[in-house]
Structure 1
């Protein structure tokens, strides 16, 4: 476990131990731990992988966006990439 995830895990343990009745605070600490684990994983994988293309970055970015906005945002990103490439977004 990296220091980012380890720090978040320790904060969660502290909150649970010292504030067992404070559910919103516990939930926030759990969310922070999940975020730290995900960030560590992404950082590790990107460090091992070859450089990403613009298209790959767009697809991966879309995974982190809310579902309702994905279609509209994907179209906008495709159009922007097409502009940068001087091509067609279709």
Structure 2
């Protein structure tokens, strides 16, 4: 029996890391941050792949939103 060489789902891996940290009684803050980022990445990729191509202005607006932390 061989081990699959396909990539592990980042959300699934991050969720497992949160579970391990909690189970071991460790601070899960960073693991939860990574899980949240993986979920955001997945949602953004799904939205981008489903939408028609963006204009340069639209890409710039979205990039600014993401790099500014949502205007916080």
TM range (shorter): 0.7 to 0.9
Matches of 2:68 and 2:41, distance apart in 1:
18
- Any unmatched runs of 5+ in structure 1? 71-90
- Any unmatched runs of 5+ in structure 2? 1-7
Larger radius of gyration: 1
Q: What stretches of structure 1 move > 6 A for 4+ residues in a row?
A: none
- Provide TM-score, normalisation by structure 2: 0.77
Name which structure has the greater RCO, CA cutoff 8 Å, separation 6+: 2
The two structures, once aligned, show a CA RMSD in angstroms of 1.8
Partner of 2:66: 64
The structure carrying a bigger helix percent of its residues is: 1
Partner of 2:5: none
